Amino acid sequence: MSGSGDGVRPPQVGPATRRWLVRLAIVEAAILITIASAARRWVSMPRWSPVLGQPAAVPDSWSGRTVTRIPVRAGDPTERLVARAVERAAQLLPGEPSCLACVTAGQIMLRVRRRAGVVVIGLRRPERTDADWDAHAWLLGSRGALSGGPAARGFTATTVFEVPGRSSARSVDLGV
């Protein structure tokens, strides 16, 4: 499915075909979440993180600020399909996939469709001084969070991954 951002209009399909395309996207997301979970567990991040994009600077407007709210919204039908497929696949898989596995799957799905999001990794100070810092990853599309957005509340963005020529943290319209 090609989106409106690349100038090619997707062919019109009927409701039955659309349902099958959504189901296939959910299967794709489930497979990618499973692979990303395994990679996260058994492969060092520098070896697989290039699928997220290239590390970039956190925008000045985000730097040092704790996330209070990120709108959950897609900028186009392609982003909406990816967001829904990742969310549904995560619900169907056994256990609870990590936020990083879900955003990795979402970013790969966007890139396959000649798009890209911005992957953000944030940290949150623990309430107890002897506890580890919490980490969370979320995927931003052109107009808001596609994955992990609501759980980003209370985190501060520390790392951003962008796809050169396709995505930029500065270009995301969070509208907040």
Return d(Cα 103, Cα 129) in angstroms, integer: 29
3-state SS, one letter per residue, for 116-165: CCEEEEEEECCCCCCCCCEEEEEEECCCCEEECCHHHCCCEEEEEEECCC
pLDDT at 3: 47
Beta carbons within 8 Å of 30's beta carbon, 6+ residues apart: 89, 92, 93
Residue 101 has pLDDT above 80, yes or no: yes
Residue 132 has pLDDT above 60, yes or no: yes
Per-residue pLDDT, averaged over 91-99, amounts to 95
The residue extents of the domains of the chain are 12-171
Q: Are 159 and 120 in contact (CB under 8 A)?
A: yes
Per-residue pLDDT, averaged over 71-98, amounts to 95
Q: Which pair of tokens denotes residue 113?
A: 């469709």
The string of pLDDT tens digits covering residues 2-16 is 444 555 565 677 888
Helix (H, G, I), strand (E, B) or coil at 66: strand
Residue 140, strand partner residues: 118, 145
DSSP secondary structure code for residue 169 in this structure: G
The string of pLDDT tens digits covering residues 144-175 is 999 999 999 999 999 999 998 888 888 887 75
Return d(Cα 110, Cα 83) in angstroms, integer: 10
Q: What is the pTM of this model?
A: 0.87
Residue 118 has pLDDT above 70, yes or no: yes
Average per-residue pLDDT for the chain: 89
